[in-house]
Structure 1
Amino acid sequence: MRREQTRNMAITALFIALFLLQTFVPNIGYIRILPGLPAITTAPLTVAIYALLMGPMAGAVFGLFWGILRLILAFTQPGDIVSLMLFQNVFIAVIPSVCAGLFPGLIGKLFQNKKKGIRETGYATAGAVTSLTNTVLVILLTSLAFMNDSGRLIGYMGNFAKGTPLIEALIVALGMNGLIEAIFTAIVTPIIVIPLKKVMKRIG
């Protein structure tokens, strides 16, 4: 038991260090494609891998860590005006991040005793779900938070026709980022998780 706890603490410390690098070192965790819009982030990949290795509760806590970092970044060094407006809201910063950590862990538990090919499909699904959960919840919570002040936010997201519903503008502006993140995370997650799971079994 003590050996397992030590192993888990070491893995957690490693992932926290990696996540801090992704957050604060330019072009590692946040890759900006369209000026003025939130960057594509590789953070969901790290969250998905950690949750699949450590389980849903640990994944949710790691997601909370991500959300707190998002909040801090929004106040200290926002990369664009949209990120500043969105992630200075504690609910938009934290709730999608926590759910993005919880869900892949739950999917991992669901597939853990399946055959190899099915299990690998589960890992890919967990990766995609991590990114999509984050994107969908950010869009939904933003549409609620800015329901009565949507014009100003829409103005920063691009050239949308007057009267465009906020949720439609958010889907157009943020949906492409979310789709790219989901595909990337779905492909890479099983490639990394499978060998790490084998190593964890060996060191027990």
Structure 2
Amino acid sequence: MQNRQQIQRLTTQALLIVIIVLQDLIPMIGNLPLGPLSITTLPITVGVVAVVWGPREGMVVGGVWGLLTWVRAFVYPSSPLAPLIFTNPLISFVPRLLIGLVAGWVFIGLKKVVSPSLAACFAGLMGSVTNTVLVLGGIYLFANTPAVASAYHATTSNLATALLAVVTTNGLVEMLVTALVVPAIALPVVHALKKDQ
């Protein structure tokens, strides 16, 4: 019985990793253009995994996304800015890895005191916040160069202001979307898995 559960868990992880790879590589799936904004949907997938299967699986899926982001920055950049930023694993890998950890533990902690839907909502929100703050903070700390600053229509001295503008536009929309979509997907999956057991 335990062997069957382990095989089922590994199969599930493999499918989730395939979903992350497809989201990252296929245009219009992992990044949705919304007017002047581009909404990253991959934190939703990592958040759903963290809520349904826990922080460890969330970290695995988030880590795969981070590793893919890092490798793509060298061989198949998603934008002209990617090689300047995402070749640093502290910006490309660590934030994605921590989305799953943060979302998973937020859900575990909050579901004891609030409804599962509210706990999943906050888990999605905090996973997205983790990604946004750590990526943009990493850009400011480790990639504050004239080339990066000019891509944000700023100088190195006012890059922080430009990155804060990204947080208040793109970041807030991503956080809201992730907070709403994670419970909408994760809770029915949790319910279905409980019925199967």
TM-score scaled by length of structure 2: 0.89
Letter in 1 for 2:46: V
Spell out the pairing of 1:86-165 with structure 2 (5 A cutoff): 86-114=85-113, 118-147=115-144, 149=145, 151-158=146-153, 160=154, 164-165=157-158
Q: Secondary structure at the match of 2:93?
A: helix
Q: Is the 8 A contact 1:44 1:100 kept in 2?
A: yes
Question: Shift of residue 24 of structure 1?
Answer: 1.2
Structure 1 length-normalised TM? 0.86
* 1:76 Cα offset (Å): 2.2
The answer (yes or no) to whether the contact 1:40–1:181 under 8 Å persists in 2 is yes
C-alpha separation between the residues in 1 aligned to 2:168 and 2:134?
Answer: 12
How far did residue 172 of structure 1 move? Answer: 1.5
Match of 1:7 in 2: 8
Residues 55 and 103 in structure 2, CA contact (< 8 A), matched pair in contact too = yes
Q: Secondary structure at the match of 2:81?
A: helix
Q: Distance in 2 between matches of 1:195 and 1:24?
A: 27
CA contact (8 A) 1:128 1:186 kept: yes
Task: Give 1:175 deviation, angstroms.
Answer: 4.2
- Return the alpha-carbon distance in structure 1 between the equivalents of residues 53 and 174 of structure 2: 22
Encode CA deviations 1:139-188: one digit per residue, 9 max, x unaligned.
Answer: 111111134x3x32111112x4x564222221213542221111111111
SS of the residue 1:81 aligns to: coil
What amino acid is the match of 2:102?
F
What is the count of residue pairs matched by the alignment?
196
CA contact (8 A) 1:157 1:173 kept: no
Structure-2 residue corresponding to 1:61: 60
Contact persistence 2:33–2:39 (CA under 8 A): yes
Q: Percent identity?
A: 31
- Does 2:190 correspond to 1:167? no
Report the aligned-residue RMSD: 2.1
Q: Which runs of 5+ in 2 are unaligned?
A: none
Provide the C-alpha distance between the structure 1 equivalents of 2:4 and 2:108, rounded to a whole number of angstroms.
22
Corresponding residue number in structure 2 for 1:199: 192
2:173 is matched with which residue? 180
Could you list the runs of 5+ residues in structure 1 that have no partner in the other structure?
none
Q: Deviations over 1:54-95 (max 9, x none)?
A: 111221222111100101221222232223311111111011
